[in-house]
């Protein structure tokens, strides 16, 4: 198994409910207060019950001091990549380097089309994502040549790049299908699947696909961080993934780190008690188990 050697990250995946707007910000503040690293928010602009993700992340960042923030994942068909690049860079500058970019090719095409976005088939959406990544990276290269990407879906012709983000922002792709996994290996800084779609038993084959694509592009597989959106319950005795006491969670997550190279666990929960318990009981135990299992690795 490839030794990915990334520091462990832990965070939350919050629902951007407009009805509970203040509570969402409080949950993000709680994420920081209990010592977690990252707060993320899903991005479905066609969902009328949801707050706008980018505006919400900006407010969360303004109400915290160390917490990293990221869309999980940004809906590229409704967020033009040149503008998205400047939004990301701007917030990264204003927060002193606390922004990452989860990015997706799009889904729920009826909703996207209803807001005036393109209706793409699966192949077109992946092509558009590749073009979008090229635009974003070029826009972040402040001081470089004018940006020219003449794609099928995204065209930028002569834009001035900049501003540059305050740090090297990671582009983390939500990817499941073979071509998206290959794009992840070739172009992305991280892979961000969800356990509800991709259970632990599926990770080895998908990780291999990413590794092979990275190597074919003359990259190290370790260049692609492996993140995981997770959900579970502290009830039960441990039958199934993350269904049982905190010790069961810790053992299962540490095993994924040691055997599959997963290095970030993002808890999908709007329950403050579960977030507190995750931070207090699971996270330290995972760190200890990983340190014991890989003594020379950063944990």
DSSP 194: B
Average pLDDT, the chain: 96
Task: Specify the higher pLDDT residue, 4 or 173.
Answer: 173
pLDDT tens digit string along 70-103? 999 999 999 999 999 999 999 999 999 999 999 9
Cis? peptide before 163, omega within 30° of 0: yes
Cβ atoms of residues 243 and 279 within 8 Å: no
Predicted model pTM: 0.96
Phi-psi region of 205 (alpha: psi -120 to 50; beta: other; left: phi over 0): alpha
β-bridge mates for residue 147, sequence order: 159
pLDDT band, residue 4 (cuts 50/70/90): low
Q: Which residues contact 210 (CB under 8 A, 6 or more apart)?
A: 181, 182, 184, 185, 191, 221, 224
Residue 3 has pLDDT above 60, yes or no: no
Looking at residue 299, its pLDDT comes to: 40
Nearest to 100 by CA among 184, 45, 159, 166: 166
Quote the tokens at residue 283. 């996270």
Looking at residue 298, its pLDDT comes to: 44
Looking at residue 235, its pLDDT comes to: 92
What percent of the chain clears pLDDT 90, i.e. is strictly above it?
Answer: 95
Looking at residue 239, its pLDDT comes to: 84
pLDDT band, residue 177 (cuts 50/70/90): very high
Q: What is the DSSP string of 88-157?
A: HHHHHHHHTS-B-EEEE----HHHHHHTT-----HHHHHHHHHHHHHHHHHHH-TTSPPEEEE-SS-EEE
Residue 223 has pLDDT above 80, yes or no: yes
**What's the whole-number mean pLDDT along residues 53-75?**
98
Cβ atoms of residues 119 and 113 within 8 Å: yes
Q: How many CA atoms lie within 13 A of 124 on its CB side?
A: 10
Residue 224 has pLDDT above 50, yes or no: yes
β-bridge mates for residue 159, sequence order: 147
Looking at residue 1, its pLDDT comes to: 47
Token look-up 């199934």 returns: 240
Residue 297 has pLDDT above 90, yes or no: no
pLDDT band, residue 236 (cuts 50/70/90): confident
Helix, strand, coil: what percent of the chain each, to 5? Answer: 45, 20, 35
Residue 155 has pLDDT above 80, yes or no: yes
- How far is Cα 110 from Cα 118, in angstroms, rounded to an integer? 10
Which runs of E-coded beta strand occur in the chain?
A: 9-14, 38-41, 68-71, 74-75, 101-104, 147-150, 155-159, 171-173, 190-191, 225-230, 262-268
What percent of the chain clears pLDDT 70, i.e. is strictly above it?
Answer: 97
Separation of CA 266 from chain center: 9
Look up the CATH number of domain 9-293: 3.20.20.30
**What's the whole-number mean pLDDT along residues 54-59?**
98
pLDDT tens digit string along 17-42? 999 999 999 999 999 999 999 999 99
- How many C-beta neighbours within 10 Å does residue 197 have? 10
Looking at residue 296, its pLDDT comes to: 59
């Amino acid at each position: 198994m490839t030794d990915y050697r990334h520091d462990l990250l832990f965070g939350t995946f919050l629902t951007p409910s407009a009805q509970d707007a203040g509570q969402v910000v409080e949950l993000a503040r709680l994420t920081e207060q209990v010592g977690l690293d990252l707060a993320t928010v899903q991005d479905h602009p066609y969902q009328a019950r949801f707050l706008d993700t980018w505006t919400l992340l900006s407010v969360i960042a303004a109400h915290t001091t160390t917490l990293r923030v990221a869309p999980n994942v940004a809906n590229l068909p409704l967020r033009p990549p040149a503008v998205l690049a400047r939004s990301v860079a701007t917030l990264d500058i204003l927060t002193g380097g606390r922004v990452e970019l989860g990015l997706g090719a799009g889904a729920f095409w009826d909703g996207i089309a209803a807001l005036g976005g393109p209706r793409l088939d699966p192949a077109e959406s992946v092509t558009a994502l590749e073009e979008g990544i090229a635009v974003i990276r070029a826009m972040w290269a402040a001081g470089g040549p004018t940006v020219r990407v003449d794609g099928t879906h995204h065209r930028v012709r002569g834009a001035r790049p900049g501003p540059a983000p305050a740090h090297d922002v990671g582009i983390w792709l939500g990817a499941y299908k073979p071509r998206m996994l290959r794009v992840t290996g070739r172009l992305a800084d991280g892979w961000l699947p969800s356990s509800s779609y991709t259970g632990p038993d599926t990770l080895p084959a998908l990780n291999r696909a990413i590794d092979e694509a990275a190597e074919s592009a003359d990259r190290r597989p370790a260049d692609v961080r492996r993140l995981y959106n997770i959900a579970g319950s502290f009830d039960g005795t441990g039958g199934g993934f993350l269904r049982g006491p905190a010790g069961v969670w810790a053992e299962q997550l540490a095993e994924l780190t040691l055997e599959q190279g997963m290095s970030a666990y993002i808890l999908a929960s709007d329950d403050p008690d579960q977030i507190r318990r995750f931070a207090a009981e699971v996270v330290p135990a995972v760190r200890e188990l990983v340190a014991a299992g890989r003594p020379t690795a950063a944990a």
